[in-house]
Amino acid sequence: MRRIGVLTSGGDAPGMNAAIRAVVRKANYHGVEVYGIYHGYEGFIQGKMELLDLGSVGGIIQRGGTKLYSSRCAKFKEQKYQLQGIEKMKDAGIEGLIVIGGDGSFRGAYALADLGLKCIGVPATIDNDVPGTEYTIGFDTALNTVVNAVDKIRDTATSHENTFIIEVMGRHSGNIALWSGLAAGAESIIIPEEPYDIDEIIARIKRGEARRKKHSIIIVAEGVMPASELARMLKEKSGIDMRITVLGHIQRGGSPSAYDRVMASRFGAFAVELLLEGKTRRAVGIKNNQLYDYDLQEIFKTEQKNTSGLYTLSKELSI
């Protein structure tokens, strides 16, 4: 293999730049050229690409976002656009593609691999919800962003003796809510994977008040309901006024943590190795700190991370 392509797709995640850098440097190390494809599958269809030399990925390991830009490209589900993009790749002499993104991006890579373009997926999304791998690039940085924000909100919640509901991202997954809630000592955590009980949340607040603790933090995953809706339900039953904060896209930005930089470097370099071994329709995964590759087909499994252990712990620690 003499020339490969790399693109970032879907919601951006801190560490994507570090992964691009690793792909370029590792491929160059093996004498393989890398073309950066801009704007995800949108640019793939149009053949919008540029040669990435060693210097072009200098000074990006610490930068959030993605140097290659990203997009959510709905029309890429149509085969005619997939074939159009594959033709552009053939014209440019690109023999393999590395797709850095979440499960939607992996579905695109799966389709391309079935149409004959060698494809490897690198999991990157703040949601940490890609089936087949324990970790996705960006999760750690997003968690730190959320925890920093919750710590700050707790300062003012304590001073004013308020109850705050903080809504975090995660799409259908509660990973960000659960991990950040545990790390920030939230009094209640509400995630899609576990049932919630409004009366129990109120009882928890009341128990705190009885101990003269007048503030509370509730973290709700966006996949359950909006913070405003939860505030309305709680107010209706308890009369307590809640303050709400929706953290929003701040969770997707920022300089990647050291952990995300290391994971992105490992994932990106491993993806190049897989292409050089002639593999296709595979994704990079990690379990117990061990990298491996798996069939992109696994993306179609509706696997949820096992949250029950951490969820139970969070309840035990916030009695």
| Residues between 77 and 106 that touch ligand F6P (CB under 6 A) | 102
What's the CA gap between 9 and 106, in Å, rounded?
9
Using the rule CB under 6 A, which residue among 4, 89, 126, 177 binds ligand F6P? 126
Annotated catalytic, 12? no
What is the nearest approach in angstroms of ligand F6P to the Cβ of residue 11? 3
| Residues between 231 and 270 that touch ligand F6P (CB under 6 A) | 252
What is the nearest approach in angstroms of ligand F6P to the Cβ of residue 48? 20
Q: Which residues make beta-bridge pairs with 124? A: 137
Q: How far is CA 50 from CA 43, 82, 242, in A?
A: 11, 19, 51
Supply the DSSP symbol for 297.
Answer: G
Verify binding: residue 216, ligand F6P, rule CB under 6 A. no
- Find the catalytic residue in 53, 114, 127, 140: 127
Report yes or no: 299 and 283 within 8 Å, Cβ to Cβ: yes
Using the rule CB under 6 A, which residue among 103, 127, 187, 260 binds ligand F6P? 127
In our burial notation (b when 16+ CB lie closer than 10 A, e otherwise), range 197-209 reads eeeebbebbeebe
Supply the DSSP symbol for 30.
Answer: T
Report yes or no: 231 and 266 within 8 Å, Cβ to Cβ: no
Verify binding: residue 39, ligand F6P, rule CB under 6 A. no
Nearer to ligand F6P by C-beta: 17 or 163? 17
11 annotated as ligand-binding: yes
What is the nearest approach in angstroms of ligand F6P to the Cβ of residue 107? 14
Using the rule CB under 6 A, which residue among 39, 171, 204, 261 binds ligand F6P? 171
Q: How far is CA 208 from CA 152, 199, 213, 221, 227, in A?
A: 20, 14, 5, 22, 21
| Residues between 50 and 79 that touch ligand F6P (CB under 6 A) | 72
Verify binding: residue 124, ligand F6P, rule CB under 6 A. no
Verify binding: residue 169, ligand F6P, rule CB under 6 A. yes
158 annotated as ligand-binding: no
215 annotated as ligand-binding: yes
Report yes or no: 265 and 254 within 8 Å, Cβ to Cβ: no
Find, among 310, 299, 305, the residue nearest to 10 by Cα: 299
| Residues between 281 and 310 that touch ligand F6P (CB under 6 A) | none
What is the nearest approach in angstroms of ligand F6P to the Cβ of residue 141? 12
Using alpha carbons only, give the angle 129, 179, 17 rounded to the nearest 5 degrees. 55
Listed in sequence order, the DSSP H helices in 239-288 are: 258-276
What is the nearest approach in angstroms of ligand F6P to the Cβ of residue 55? 31
Q: Which residues are catalytic?
A: 127
Binding annotation: 11, 21-25, 72-73, 102-105, 125-127, 154, 169-171, 185-187, 211, 213-215, 222, 243, 249-252
